[in-house]
């Protein structure tokens, strides 16, 4: 099977405008994401609607495709980019443009989900540990995932699920394995076409999580497990934490 990686990146972020071009360890964030992906998948492109991002990607030798300014989600932008550059690929991997610490082993883990020919969509989770602390578990910006016995997603939520009725919250992390969602998706090409044609769903609008649209419409999401910690960057404060993480773990 052939895999193409698409990295959606837009300039006009509500919480952090210009985020893909912010420097992290002396490099634009989008460059760090691209370099983590290139070479692991058969092909990689940044998909953007902004000429500044396009110019930056070209400046470091990356591949980039321009897309519409009207997309509702990164998945929609990913599909447009695929239609322009992705013929001949079986699986499209959607890598968040604000995940500069995505690791090769995580890409291998999501690819491995397609060893099962029934897999339509795949994503990753990381188990929360007691050392993460209860605040990390209750952070609404870090969606949680419940899975079935075959590691298919049952539900994603910004709330903590499941609720451990018989234990105080301080014990939840030691009493149950909670899964943190890692924002990495992969789709069979024909499934990507189908899900981008779906209207937004009630659950998606309620939680602001587009993957709920797919579940609500009967699609299955295979879940791989990663033990690697990543830092998504949503705000300028997150960028400061990422700089500290980079110095500590990457050098």
Per-residue model confidence as pLDDT tens digits over 205-249: 999 999 999 999 999 999 999 998 777 788 899 899 899 988 887
Angle between helices 29-37 and 51-59 (to 10 degrees): 60
Domain definitions of the chain by residue range: 3-242
- Report the pLDDT value the prediction gives residue 245, as an integer from 0 to 100: 87
Per-residue model confidence as pLDDT tens digits over 128-147: 999 999 999 999 989 999 99
∠ CA 160-237-125, nearest 5°, is 35
- Report the pLDDT value the prediction gives residue 250, as an integer from 0 to 100: 65
Indicate the CATH number of 3-242 among 1.10.3210.10, 3.90.550.10, 3.30.950.10, 3.90.380.10: 3.90.550.10
Is 65's pLDDT higher than 80? yes
- Report the pLDDT value the prediction gives residue 43, as an integer from 0 to 100: 95
Helix, strand, coil content of the chain in percent (nearest 5): 35, 25, 40
- Report the pLDDT value the prediction gives residue 182, as an integer from 0 to 100: 92
The pTM score is 0.93
Per-residue model confidence as pLDDT tens digits over 70-83: 888 889 999 999 99
- Report the pLDDT value the prediction gives residue 141, as an integer from 0 to 100: 86
Average pLDDT, the chain: 94
- Report the pLDDT value the prediction gives residue 231, as an integer from 0 to 100: 78
Is 56's pLDDT higher than 70? yes
Is 203's pLDDT higher than 80? yes
Largest CA distance in the chain: 56
Residue pair 91/2 in contact by the 8 Å Cβ criterion: yes
Burial of 152 (0-12, 13-18, 19+ CB in 10 A): middle
Closest CA to 232 of 195, 170, 182: 182
Closest CA to 43 of 79, 91, 96, 77: 91
**Residue 238, helix vs strand vs coil:** helix
Is 251's pLDDT higher than 60? no
Find the mean pLDDT for residues 18-25. Answer: 94
- Percent of the chain at pLDDT exceeding 70: 99
């Amino acid at each position: 099977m052939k895999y193409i990686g698409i990295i959606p990146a837009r300039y006009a972020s509500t919480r952090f405008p210009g985020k893909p071009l912010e420097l992290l360890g002396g490099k634009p964030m989008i460059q760090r994401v691209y370099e983590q992906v290139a070479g692991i998948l058969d092909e990689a492109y940044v998909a953007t609607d902004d000429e500044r991002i396009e110019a930056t990607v070209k400046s470091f030798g990356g591949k980039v495709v321009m897309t519409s300014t009207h997309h509702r989600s990164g998945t929609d932008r990913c599909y447009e980019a695929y239609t322009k550059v992705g013929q001949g690929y079986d699986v499209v991997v959607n890598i968040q443009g604000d995940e500069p610490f995505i690791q090769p082993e995580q890409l291998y883990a999501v690819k491995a989900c397609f060893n099962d020919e029934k897999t339509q969509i795949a994503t990753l989770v990381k188990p929360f540990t007691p050392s993460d602390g209860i605040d990390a578990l209750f952070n609404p910006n870090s969606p949680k995932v419940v899975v079935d016995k075959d590691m298919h997603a049952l539900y994603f939520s910004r709330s903590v699920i499941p609720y451990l009725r018989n234990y105080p919250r301080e014990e939840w992390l030691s009493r149950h394995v909670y899964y943190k969602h890692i924002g990495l998706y992969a789709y069979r090409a024909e499934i990507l076409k189908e899900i981008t044609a779906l209207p937004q769903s009630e659950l998606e609008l309620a939680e602001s999580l587009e993957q709920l649209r797919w579940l609500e419409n009967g699609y299955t999401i295979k879940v791989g497990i990663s033990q690697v910690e990543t830092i998504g960057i949503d705000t300028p404060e997150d960028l400061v934490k990422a700089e500290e993480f980079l110095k500590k773990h990457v050098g």
